[in-house]
Amino acid sequence: MELSGQRTIDAPREQVWEALLDREVLKECVPGCTEMSGSAEEGFEATVVQKVGPVKATFKGDVRLENVERPDSLTLTGEGKGGAAGFAKGGADCRLSDAEGGKTRLEYEVEAKVGGKLAQLGSRVIDGFAKKMADQFFERFQDRVEGRGKAAATGGAGGMAQESAAPADADAAPTPRKWFWPGRVE
């Protein structure tokens, strides 16, 4: 499965670059990530819990940074084993460039492969799941870098994320809140 996309992030390129190398940022942005240790230089070890169709698994694996060309591009590659559920591996080629107004354009190409019970679910289920995971990662990453906070990146308290803006002054009407449940397929 392959997909590509781009995002324009309201932050300077150096800030976006540093976030791509930050273990805590990556942990917050990877859907289902419960643990992440290591460093950008030596690689990261991660534990990710996910449900793909009827198969729920805990994947333990590693993430490496390759093809690093500071501050223009890098490749995030990872492989995880989920016991009887099988394995998942893939990578994301990320390219950064300056965008208008001091923003950064992040372009990415993602490739993912699965084996074991997961592969038996069929390409339509796997492709949809991989696209959802990639979209969630890059959306959370953009939110985190733009300063919309950890709660937006992790799904907030109790598994629900809340999106609201504070009124400009005390007399202004409060902004209505939008609620969503991360991981819900519509």
Grade residue 7 by pLDDT with cuts at 50, 70 and 90: very high
State the average pLDDT over residues 121-128.
84
Give the integer Cα–Cα distance in Å for 141 and 151.
12
* Rg value, the chain, Cα: 17
Q: Can you identify the CATH homologous superfamily of domain 2-165? A: START domain (3.30.530.20)
Q: Return the higher-pLDDT residue of 112 and 158.
A: 112
pLDDT digits (tens, 9 = 90+) for 52-101: 888 888 999 999 999 999 999 999 999 999 998 899 898 999 999 999 99
pLDDT digits (tens, 9 = 90+) for 160-174: 333 333 334 444 444
CA angle 50, 25, 76 (to 5 degrees): 70
